[in-house]
Structure 1
Amino acid sequence: MKLEILEKDKIYHIYNRGINGEPIFTSDENKRYFLKLYLKYLENKVETFAYCLMDNHFHFVIRINNETEVTQALSNLFNAYAKSFNKQQNRTGSLFEKHFKRIQIENEEYLKNVIQYIHLNPKHHLDMDYKSFTFSSYLTILSNKATNLLRNEVIRLFEDIDNFIYCHDFKNEVLSEKQKLE
């Protein structure tokens, strides 16, 4: 299977999970360290719209700034984290599934849907309150604290902060009703 090349100025949904669905994060400290490595390896190479770190998988929506270096930078991030996690957990072998997944986002409506999907992950995977989930960009977008996220661009996608909240609440209700029917 040939992997899609990440192109400059394009937006992608990047995600992966632990091998065999196993945890890749066993503590909040693991998640903080992963985000620290994310900044170390990807700062100035990508711009981040949204993210969510779950115990056995992660999601990012990014825009590529530097296509010649970003794939290697992502590989370096995942390798550095896997080595650290394996050492901490006294384990060996692959931590992540073979290749990280990437889907190019080609329009604003799809981008908005992916951002909401990522933010709602805690609710629909673990039945946790996505509004207070620490390892998602949802709270960061709502805050006024300094961030590397494309906060203003995300808010503009949803028109304003109130509509950002409304759209997430509405999608959450729709997904909750759908789950009840299944």
Structure 2
Amino acid sequence: MKLEALEQEKYYHIYNRGINGNTIFFSNDNKSYFLSKLKIYLENKVEILAYCLLSNHFHLIVKIITKPSIATQSFSNLFNAYAKAINKQQKRTGSLFEKHFKRIELKNEKYLQNLILYIHLNPMKHFNIDFESYKYSSYPSILSDKPTTLKRNDVLQLFDGKENFKYVHQQKNLEIEEKFKLE
């Protein structure tokens, strides 16, 4: 599969998982560490709209705000730094992530909205974890009044405000819960 080149001023779904679906976040400290590195490596290169970190994969929605080559190298540096730290911590060698980070350009607002929902509901979908209180997702940060590097206002505008943002997430979550009951 040929990887799509990143372009400045465009939105992307960036995601990857552990090699062979293996764990990449062994603890909550690992998730916190990844988020701290995310800020260090990507600040002033991308705008982050949403994220979710789960034990064996992650999702990000970003807007590229620098030269594409700089953004691509920054992502590579982030993932390499994280992989080296985990390999050292876990006394392992070799690749942590699947070969290359995946990226899909988000070409319209509806797709962007649906992807934000999908990413925020990932804890429920994969692990039956309450998405509203899941600490390693951007959902609680978007609803918080605490300072954040997230593009909180941009996301809330996509959903016509905070109340509708919550409502749409809760409705989509009910659909997922209903599906679980039917299976």
Whole-angstrom CA distance in 2 between matches of 1:174 and 1:108: 22
Whole-angstrom CA distance in 1 between matches of 2:180 and 2:151: 31
TM-score under structure 1 length normalisation: 0.98
Tell me what 1:29 maps to. 29
* Partner amino acid, structure 2, of 1:122: P
In the alignment, structure 1 residue 152 sits paired with structure 2 residue 132: no
1:103-142 to structure 2, matched below 5 A, reads 103-142=104-143
TM-score under structure 2 length normalisation: 0.97
Q: CA offsets per residue over residues 27-78 of structure 1, 9 Å max, x none?
A: 1111111111111110000000000000100000000001120111101100
Tell me what 2:50 maps to. 50
Whole-angstrom CA distance in 1 between matches of 2:179 and 2:29: 34
Matched residue SS, 1:140: helix
In the alignment, structure 1 residue 168 sits paired with structure 2 residue 169: yes
* Partner amino acid, structure 1, of 2:72: T
Matched residue SS, 2:13: strand
1:145 CA displacement: 0.4
Whole-angstrom CA distance in 2 between matches of 1:49 and 1:170: 21
Matched residue SS, 1:146: coil
Matched residue SS, 1:58: strand
Matched residue SS, 2:121: helix
1:174 CA displacement: 1.4
Matched residue SS, 1:50: strand
In the alignment, structure 1 residue 41 sits paired with structure 2 residue 10: no
Q: CA offsets per residue over residues 106-155 of structure 1, 9 Å max, x none?
A: 11111010001000011111101000000000000000000000000000
Whole-angstrom CA distance in 2 between matches of 1:111 and 1:168: 14
Q: CA offsets per residue over residues 153-182 of structure 1, 9 Å max, x none?
A: 000000010000000011111122233334
Matched residue SS, 1:48: strand
In the alignment, structure 1 residue 70 sits paired with structure 2 residue 68: no
Tell me what 2:180 maps to. 179
Aligned residues: 182
Tell me what 1:3 maps to. 3
Identical residues among aligned pairs (%): 60
* Partner amino acid, structure 1, of 2:116: I
Q: Which runs of 5+ in 1 are unaligned?
A: none
Whole-angstrom CA distance in 2 between matches of 1:170 and 1:79: 38
